[in-house]
């Protein structure tokens, strides 16, 4: 699994904001304001990653619970639920 990376330079954005506070020239303020759409895009991207991670976790947890219940009920292949979900998860990762 790859680690999500930040697509913005937080230090540069912070410097733009501080420059606009310290010396609020038109250029400094416009430069700081120009960072807003970039930050909004990063927030949307991060929320999409979080949503995906939460869905993956929920699906894996449901499969684990189904496998435990199947084992308790004496099904012949109780871990098939978990194997199927892990296989699906791996297949989706390979497509990305």
In a domain, 62, yes or no: yes
pTM greater than 0.85 (yes/no): no
Number of domains in the chain: 1
Q: In terms of Cα–Cα distance, which of 47, 17, 18 is closest to 34?
A: 17
| Inside any domain, residue 78 | yes
Whether the Cβ atoms of residue 33 and residue 17 lie closer than 8 Å to each other: no
* Tens-place pLDDT, residues 39-95: 999 999 999 999 999 999 999 999 999 999 999 999 999 999 999 999 988 887 666
Q: Is 1 within a domain? A: no
Is residue 37 a part of any domain in this protein?
yes
Domain of residue 57: give its range: 10-95
């Amino acid at each position: 699994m790859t680690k999500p990376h930040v697509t913005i330079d937080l230090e540069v954005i912070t410097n733009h904001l501080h420059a606009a506070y310290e010396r609020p020239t038109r250029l400094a303020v416009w430069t700081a304001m120009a960072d807003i759409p970039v930050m909004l895009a990063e927030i949307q991207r991060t929320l999409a990653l979080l949503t995906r991670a939460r869905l993956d976790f929920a699906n894996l947890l449901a499969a684990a619970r189904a496998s435990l219940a199947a084992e308790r009920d004496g099904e012949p292949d109780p871990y098939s639920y978990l194997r199927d979900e892990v296989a699906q998860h791996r297949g989706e990762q390979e497509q990305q």
